[in-house]
């Protein structure tokens, strides 16, 4: 039972952690851009990575909601 609760807790936290990582990457990219100039390939890459992580976090949240919707239909 405890393992199941831990698993559910980790699943629920995963999208949040992913968003926090995306935010940190985006902030570092903005900092690099402010130092190197706004035409900086590394900053652009970091922004793209952050956007991809945000999209993945949304997908994870949708996946977590799907089982609940299936249970309601039964």
DSSP code per residue over the chain: -HHHHHHHHHHHHHHHHHHHHHHHHHHHHHHHHHHH-S--HHHHHHHHHHHHHHHHHHHHHHHHHHHHHHHHH-
* Mean pLDDT of the region 31-50: 89
Section 23-41 average pLDDT: 89
Name the domain count of the chain.
1
Taking the CA atoms of the chain, what radius of gyration do you get in angstroms? 17
Residue 4 lies in a domain: no
In a domain, 57, yes or no: yes
Look up the domain containing 40 and give its range: 17-67
The per-residue pLDDT for range 3-19, each reduced to its tens digit, is 665 665 666 678 888 88
Q: Supply the pTM of this predicted model.
A: 0.67
| pLDDT interval class at 55 (50, 70, 90) | very high
How many CB atoms within 10 Å of residue 24? 13
């Amino acid at each position: 039972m405890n393992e199941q609760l831990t698993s559910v807790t980790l699943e629920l936290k995963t999208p949040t952690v992913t968003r926090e990582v995306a935010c940190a990457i985006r902030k570092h990219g903005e900092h690099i851009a402010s130092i190197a100039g706004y035409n900086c390939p590394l900053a652009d890459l970091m922004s793209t990575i952050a956007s991809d992580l945000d999209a993945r976090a949304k997908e994870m949240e949708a996946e977590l909601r799907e089982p609940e919707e299936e249970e309601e239909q039964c």
